[in-house]
Structures are given as C-alpha cells and as structure tokens.
C-alpha cells in the first residue's frame, strides 16, 4: 500500500495517495511514521492545503519517532501557514537540533 501511495503521490493523485496511506495505517498493527508523514505531504498538496490535517499526521508520526525530521519540518511549515508562529518556531528549533544530532 505504501508503494502504491508513493506512486499516486508521484503522479500528483493526492486524494488516491491519501486513501492508500490511510489504508496502510489502518491495516498495519504498528504503522510506520512514514505513513503519516507521506499522508501529511499529500494534505499539503491539496487545493487548498489542509494544514490542520498536516499537523495531526505529523504529530502522529512524531509520537512514533520523536526525531523524524521530515515530520518536524512539515509540521513547522503547516503551523506557520496556520499563523501559529510560536509553535512553528519551536518545531523548527527541534528539527535543527535533531538534524545536527544525526551528523
């Protein structure tokens, strides 16, 4: 399902990709953080973007892996779009620390 979701995303079929990532989350006993992060990327690309769902999915990914940089960055970008700037700044700082720690 993840590979099919990735293919749909690459083809800019974001609604289809969302459905596939959702199914992957639903049928996997312990979903991977990337399922949520990839679905968040789809929500960013909808017209209009659904920033609230981006934040929710990134939060879910971060519950599974608190140092997942893509989720931290996507969450910060979505929070900035929602004008929740203080939260976005905290997320950006966390992301920078995580990236630096992985060097």
Task: Give the model confidence (pLDDT) of 37-55 as tens digits.
Answer: 999 999 999 999 999 999 9
Fold classification of 2-101 is 1.25.40
45-95 per-position pLDDT tens digit: 999 999 999 999 999 999 999 989 999 999 999 999 998 878 767 766 655
What does the alpha-carbon distance between residue 87 and residue 5 come to, in Å, rounded to a whole number? 29
Residue 67: phi, psi to the nearest 5? -110, 20
pLDDT for res 46: 98
- pTM for the whole thing? 0.85
Task: Decide: helix, strand or coil at residue 49.
Answer: coil
Q: Enumerate the domain spans of the chain.
A: 2-101
Above 50 in pLDDT, residue 101? Answer: yes
What does the alpha-carbon distance between residue 17 and residue 102 come to, in Å, rounded to a whole number? 30
Decide if 98 contacts 67 (C-beta within 8 A). yes
What does the alpha-carbon distance between residue 57 and residue 43 come to, in Å, rounded to a whole number? 9
Does the bond joining 30 to the residue before it have cis omega, within 30 degrees of 0? no
Helix (H) or strand (E) holding 68: none
Above 90 in pLDDT, residue 12? Answer: yes
């Amino acid at each position: 399902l993840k590979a099919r979701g990735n293919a749909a995303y690459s083809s800019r079929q974001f609604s289809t990709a969302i459905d596939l990532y959702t199914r992957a989350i639903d049928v996997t006993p312990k979903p991977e953080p990337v399922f949520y992060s990839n679905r968040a990327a789809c929500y960013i690309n909808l017209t209009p973007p659904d920033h609230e769902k981006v934040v929710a999915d990134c939060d879910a990914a971060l519950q599974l892996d608190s140092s997942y940089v893509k989720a931290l960055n996507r969450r910060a970008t979505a929070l900035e779009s929602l004008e929740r700037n203080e939260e976005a700044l905290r997320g950006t700082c966390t992301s920078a620390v995580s990236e630096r720690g992985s060097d």
